[in-house]
Structure 1
Amino acid sequence: MASGDRGGRPAVTSAHELAAVAQRLFVAHGFDRTSVDDIAVAAGISRRTFFRYFPTKADVCFADSPAELARLREGLSAADPRESYRPAVVRAVTAALRFPPGEREWALQRAQLVLGVPVLQAHATQVYAQWRAAAAEFARGRQPGDDVFPVVVGHAVLAATLAAHEYWITHPAGDLEDALAQMLDLLLPPEPPPT
Structure 2
Amino acid sequence: MGRWQPDALGRLQQAALELYAERGFEATAVTDIAERAGLTERTFFRYFTDKREVLFGGTEELLALFTDAVAGAAPALAPMDAVAEALRASTAFFEDRVDHSRRRQAVIDANPSLQERELHKLATMAAAVADALRGRGVGDPAAILTAEAGVTVFKVAFARWLGDSDGTDLGTLMQQTLDELRSVTQSPPA
Please indicate, yes or no, whether the TM-score normalized by the shorter chain is above 0.5: yes
Give yes or no for the alignment of 1:98 onto 2:100.
Answer: no
Equivalent in the alignment of 2:188: none
Query: Residue 15 of structure 2 is aligned with which of 11, 21, 39?
Result: 21
Taking the aligned partners of 2:85 and 2:169, their CA distance within structure 1 comes to 15
Shift of 1:12: 5.5
Q: Is the 8 A contact 2:88 2:174 kept in 1?
A: yes
Q: How does 1:183-194 map to 2 (within 5 A)?
A: 183-187=177-181
Equivalent in the alignment of 1:158: 151
Query: Residue 171 of structure 1 is aligned with which of 164, 182, 185?
Result: 164
* Gap regions ≥5 residues in structure 1: 1-5, 191-195
Shift of 1:16: 4.4
Amino acid of the structure 2 residue aligned with 1:148: P
Query: Residue 54 of structure 1 is aligned with which of 45, 48, 58?
Result: 48
Shift of 1:10: 6.0
Local SS of the residue matching 2:99: helix
Equivalent in the alignment of 2:176: 182
Q: How does 1:133-148 map to 2 (within 5 A)?
A: 133-141=127-135, 144=138, 146-148=139-141
Provide, for residues 85-117 of structure 1, a one-character-per-residue CA deviation record: whole Å limited to 9, x for no partner: 333322212322423644332223223333442
Equivalent in the alignment of 2:35: 41
When normalised by structure 2's length, the TM-score is 0.79
* Gap regions ≥5 residues in structure 2: 186-190
Identity of aligned residues (%): 30
Deviating runs (4+, > 6 A) in structure 1? none
Alignment RMSD (CA, Å): 2.8
Taking the aligned partners of 2:40 and 2:156, their CA distance within structure 1 comes to 37
Q: Is the 8 A contact 1:112 1:169 kept in 2?
A: no
Shift of 1:161: 1.8
Taking the aligned partners of 2:154 and 2:8, their CA distance within structure 1 comes to 26
When normalised by structure 1's length, the TM-score is 0.77
Give yes or no for the alignment of 1:65 onto 2:59.
Answer: yes
